[in-house]
Amino acid sequence: MNKNLNRRTRPLVLFVALGLSLLASVVSAQEIDEKVTNYVPADEIKQRQEELGKGLDGTLAVSANVHLAQNSSVVGQVDGFSMLFGASVVGGLDFIYYRHEFRNTLTISESWARTPVIDEMVKNSDSVKLEDLYNFFLFDWAGPFARLEFSTSLLPTEDVQSEPQTYSITHHDGKLETIANTRRLKLAEAFSPLTMNQSIGAFIEPIQSEVFSLSVRLGVGARETLANGVYVTSDNKDTTEIEILGLDDVYQGGAELFLGAQGKFMKNRIGYELGGSVMMPFLNNDPENRSAVDLTRYGAYGTLTTSVFDWMALNYQVKLLQDPQLLDELQVQNALLLSFQYTLVERTPPPEPVAAPVDEQVKDAEKKAADAEAKAAAAEQRAKDAEAKAAAAEAAKKEVPVEAPVEAPVEAPVEAPVEAPVQ
């Protein structure tokens, strides 16, 4: 156990340090923004010509959701009080400088539930994710990228039952263990498991609009999941025991493909986000020596958000993950939440264009008119020159050559006959 904790110490410290650094940067973003210009919205992955040199900006928002219910003598329901409470924090920090785009996002999401069956607050969901994404725009729609992501759980994880149960545990090395007559079993420590993803490659954004934006990333990546000492429920309903499966560390490297789409409509009241990824790990530490095809990791997610008010939204989220080397079962998460949100640090809106003074507008209009007139005169002169050349060429074709006059032949002088002398 101590070796496992020591092995996690360095990435855990790095994760916490990066998270605190991001939050501190977000809080101070408003002060920094006085010296630089604007931002690229966090929900858009784009870089267009008009966004060059925008500088640094960030956001920080918190939200909470509560569900309360009480039943008494209701058919089909268990008598008692139930409650679901959730909270989340979302922070973003973006830096844009000409063709460089650096985006950072920190998301913390927690929820707890209490039901009449289990009369205590039990952790329902727990997720912490820090993502750093760098894009370099060779074109307005494509270029190379680099991505780094950390994801983990913030709190310890336990399996809690209403009555004492018997747990049948299969450790990652194949050893079996049985724990009887207990209502709870610890499955993971805080900040465990810890997953780190790194990838580098090329991206294209062929379609960018408010209603629909498409993004594609293709490259090579590495993934490390520190899961030694982590357990998951893999219960067989046909047995009286609760089956628990132990996980081990996973290291992979290979080819990655990501495809994502997002958009907003109805005056930004309804938004959606869809994504899917595939990783084929040619390099891995699979103890069963399975092929890269057998170990291919598939992931998909979808989010639909309806903003009732600026401070209240209804969200539906679904996540699917098939990760054969870590757990050979499809992992599915569904969540429907009515959340109340408050933005502590808002992004600075794009500046309104400043109109030029009237005198400068008049001068500019006169200059444009003069330029247009000069261009028209030049075009007219070129047309006249072309017409004159054409007329000259036509006249040259019709001209008949003049023959030289023929001189009459010069006749020899005729001599008078010589008369004979008279005798």
Residue 422 lies in a domain: no
Model confidence, pTM: 0.70
Give the pLDDT of residue 70: 79
* pLDDT tens digits, one per residue of 47-95: 444 444 568 889 999 999 887 777 776 666 777 888 888 999 999 999 9
Residue 411 lies in a domain: no
Give the pLDDT of residue 136: 95
The arithmetic mean of pLDDT across residues 239-249, rounded, is: 93
Residue 356 lies in a domain: no
Written as one string, the DSSP assignment of 183-201 is EEEEEE-TT-SEEEEEEEE
What per-residue string of b and e applies to 254-286 under the rule 16 or more CB within 10 Å gives b? Answer: bbbebebbbbbeeeeeebbbebebbbebeebeb
The arithmetic mean of pLDDT across residues 279-304, rounded, is: 95
Q: Which residues pair with 244 in a beta bridge?
A: 169, 233
Residue 333 lies in a domain: yes
Give the pLDDT of residue 135: 95
pLDDT category at 370 given cuts 50, 70, 90 is confident
Residue 397 lies in a domain: no
Is residue 252's pLDDT more than 80? yes
The arithmetic mean of pLDDT across residues 245-271, rounded, is: 94
Q: What percent of the chain has pLDDT over 70?
A: 77
Q: Which residues pair with 112 in a beta bridge?
A: 85, 123
Is residue 1's pLDDT more than 80? no
Q: Which residues pair with 71 in a beta bridge?
A: 80
What per-residue string of b and e applies to 211-239 under the rule 16 or more CB within 10 Å gives b? Answer: eebbbebebebbbbbbbbbbbbeeeeeee
Is residue 417's pLDDT more than 90? no
Residue 421 lies in a domain: no
Give the pLDDT of residue 408: 52
Query: 6 in helix, strand or coil?
Result: helix
Is residue 411's pLDDT more than 50? yes
* pLDDT tens digits, one per residue of 107-141: 999 999 998 888 889 998 899 999 999 999 999 89
104: domain CATH number? 2.40.128
Q: Which residues pair with 54 in a beta bridge?
A: none
Give the residue among 133, 125, 116 at the shortest CA–CA distance from 333: 125
Give the pLDDT of residue 213: 95
**How far is it, in rounded angstroms, from Cα 172 to Cα 16?**
28
Q: How many domains does the chain have?
A: 1
The arithmetic mean of pLDDT across residues 11-15, rounded, is: 46
Residue 13 lies in a domain: yes
Residue 400 lies in a domain: no
Task: Determine the distance from the C-alpha atom of residue 300 to the mean position of all C-alpha atoms in its chain, rounded to a whole number.
Answer: 14
Domain that holds residue 295: 2-345
- How many other C-beta atoms lie within 10 A of the C-beta of residue 185? 18
> For residues 5, 7, 11 and 17, what is the CA-based torsion angle, rounded to 10 degrees?
50
Is residue 397's pLDDT more than 50? yes
